[in-house]
Structure 1
Amino acid sequence: MGLFDQLTEMVSGQQAGGLGGALSDLLNQQGGVSGLVEKFQSGGLGEVVNSWVGSGENLPVSAEQVQQVLGNEQIAGLAEKLGIEPGQLAQNLSESLPQLVDKLTPGGQVPAAGDNLLSQGLEAIKGLFGH
């Protein structure tokens, strides 16, 4: 079970599912927050992802940009697990990723592995899913 699965389970009292599970899978596949940030930077969206990490306003990202950076295969695989269309997942991710990365990068810094991720992740999940 990945970190975000554990966090979602702790917050909701049940197994991670839906978008929380997709976010967990995505972070695990990318090597955590730092890997996800690097992927967006190398995909030409450095200014966008840096706004999520920084302390200012989060710039928006479109579903198409999410799908372009993460790749059709990865989006399709996650969408299949959730039983939704890839386009819907990309749209959901475009709405959730800026908030998630913002909450997991306090002080404008991408946390090093093991840097109090449990408490940060709990707060992020609570904020995203309203628990």
Structure 2
Amino acid sequence: MGLFDSVIGALGAQAGGAGGSDPLQALMGLMNQSGGLPALLQQLQQGGLGDAVASWISTGPNQAISPDALGQALGGDTVAGFARQLGIDPQQGLGMLAQLLPQVVDGLSPQGRLPEGLGQGGGADLAGMLGGLLGGGGGAGAGDLGGLLGGLLGKR
């Protein structure tokens, strides 16, 4: 998991600055606050992003989402909490989430469905799965997720 730790750590340093957490921790916090990944995805579906969420889980191409649409689906308090964990403003947080969520969900559902055990308390499982995608998975999603995180590192 060395590559995973390096990429996430560098991304956290870039995004969070002093006192901010890393994006993985903030994303896991967002999921836990929402009741787990399935509950977060349900919230997005109910917020009008059902087609996008379905595309992330399917084996086809991922549909992009705008930061504004994501913000409306999640709500201002949720977005503010995510951004606060990273030490960035909410608009930056939305931009990061709009890029990161499709890739994470896609990477976690290579067979067109989410793996079992990603409900509440599944944060450790999620961290392990993401580590596998970046560090040792060798699956099709590894390069895409690594490239996304690298792209976010280059942005500021």
Q: State the TM-score bracket (shorter-chain normalisation).
A: 0.7 to 0.9
* TM-superposed deviation, 1:121: 2.6
Q: What's the CA shift string for 1:59-116, capped at 9, x where partnerless?
A: 0001001111111001112212221110000011001100001011221112221697
Deviations 1:34-63 (A, max 9, x none): 112211111111111000000000000010
Cα RMSD of the aligned pairs, angstroms, is 2.7
Which residue is 2:131 aligned to?
Answer: 122
State the distance in 1 between where 2:46 and 2:131 align. 28
5+ long unaligned stretches in structure 1: 1-6
Number of residues paired by the alignment? 123
State whether structure 2 residue 30 is matched by structure 1 residue 26: yes
Identity of aligned pairs, percent? 34
Matched, 1:50 2:54: yes
User: How many Å separate the matches in 1 of 2:23 and 2:134?
Assistant: 11
Q: Which among 60, 66, 88 is matched to residue 62 of structure 1?
A: 66
Aligned ranges for residues 1-131 of structure 1 at < 5 Å? 11-12=4-5, 17-113=21-117, 117=126, 119-126=128-135, 127-128=145-146, 129=149
Contact map agreement 1:34 1:111 (CA 8 A) in 2:
no
Distance in 1 (alpha carbons) for counterparts of 2:115 and 2:48:
22
Structure with the greater alpha carbon radius of gyration: 2
Q: TM-score, normalised by structure 1?
A: 0.78
Q: Structure 1 residue 22: deviation in Å?
A: 1.6
- Answer yes or no: is the 8 Å Cα contact 2:27–2:82 preserved in 1: no
The answer to whether the 8 A contact 1:33-1:110 is kept is: no
With normalisation by structure 2, the TM-score equals: 0.67
